[in-house]
Amino acid sequence: MSDIKFFDKVVIVTGAGGGLGRAYAIEFAKRGARVVVNDLGGSGAGEGASSSAADVVVAEIKAFGGDAVANYDSVEFGEKIVQTAIDNFGRVDILVNNAGILRDSSFTKMSDTDWELIYKVHVDGAYKLTKAAWPYMVNQGFGRVIFTTSAAGIYGNFGQANYSSAKSALLGLGKTLAIEGARKNVHVNVIAPIAGSRLTETIWGEDILKATSPDYVVPLVVKLCSEDNKDTGGVYEVGASWFAKVRVERSEGYAFGVDKDVSAEDVASKWDAICDFSNSAPAESIVSTFNAVGKMVGIDLLAAKK
Ligand code: NAI
């Protein structure tokens, strides 16, 4: 296996002033990429702004001879961040959507602001960046995009209705853009990291923070953004040197037959069969949904035309 290098590549990392984003930016630069280090420099809850977070990382990169430029815009104005890449380096090849904040609260106590700020940063931010970078990637026939979800986005988590639903949105966005980008060599993957950072330092002790260094997440992002990477549309959980792929699984289900009336009582009577995973299968596309229902009731939804 050859070394992974990014000599002719321009990489944007959002939220690269600290935590995971800083670690990605430094590694891409070490491997030859020119890097846009974006960071708004606000608090973990999304308040305030400062240029120092991005500046410090750019200085670190320059100190080892790397090439990087700072950008201080909020990801809500993603087109400005992409423009920074174009103005300074003339292109954009890789986009790591990483910037994030937390505003945890039980759903009962959650304010509209808690909801809206989380959506602005995680969903609108990732959308704006990707929307602006996408035409460059499609036109040049190369692009690598990472979205950052969370275990909370995959499974839900108490106190994170805003964050988990925003992170779930990125699963759908990533899956759809992987389908749309495939023929143009634009590969899109989603990661759910576990890492000691500003966002987790208040809940974990020193030993756990050390074991979950962001450095353990970096290799997956580098691999997925490499020229040779063929995988797209994947969802990966990663942290503390553990790397795993997540997929959706579907039970075989139960079909009553389309010549029958079906009541709620009928559904209740077959509940065990509906929820029985002993003959389950991976559920990886809308086509697989159509195939599954087709197999159970004998109709071909793929061939169906009005
Ligand atoms: P962090 O707080 O260390 O880094 C996030 C960075 O994003 C900060 O430097 C912050 O200034 C920047 N940022 C926040 N809002 C911004 C905006 N509007 N525009 C530009 N930059 C902005 O946190 P960490 O842990 O490195 O998080 C990185 C990503 O990973 C986030 O999307 C987070 O939700 C996600 N994540 C982290 C997990 C963990 O265990 N640390 C778990 C699951 C997901």
Decide: residue 211, CB within 10 A, 0-12 exposed, 13-18 middle, 19+ buried.
middle
pLDDT tens, position by position, 172-222: 999 999 999 999 999 999 999 999 999 888 889 899 999 999 999 999 999
Give yes or no for residue 41 CB within 6 A of ligand 1: yes
Distances (CA, A) of 162 to 53, 57, 117, 267, 295: 26, 30, 9, 32, 38
| pLDDT at position 302 | 84
CA 198, distance to chain mean position in Å, is 19
Taking 80 as the threshold, does the pLDDT of residue 234 lie above it?
A: yes
Q: Whose CA is nearest to atom 3 of ligand 1?
A: 19
| pLDDT at position 284 | 87
pLDDT tens, position by position, 91-115: 999 999 999 999 999 999 999 999 9
121 CA → ligand 1 middle, Å: 10
268 CA → ligand 1 middle, Å: 44
Give yes or no for residue 38 CB within 6 A of ligand 1: yes
pLDDT tens, position by position, 49-100: 999 999 999 999 999 999 999 999 999 999 999 999 999 999 999 999 999 9
Complex-level ipTM:
0.99
- Ligand 1 pocket: which of 40, 149, 164 to mutate (most atoms <8 Å of CB)? 40
**What is the rounded average pLDDT for all residues in the chain?**
96
Q: Whose CA is nearest to atom 44 of ligand 1?
A: 150
Give yes or no for residue 204 CB within 6 A of ligand 1: no
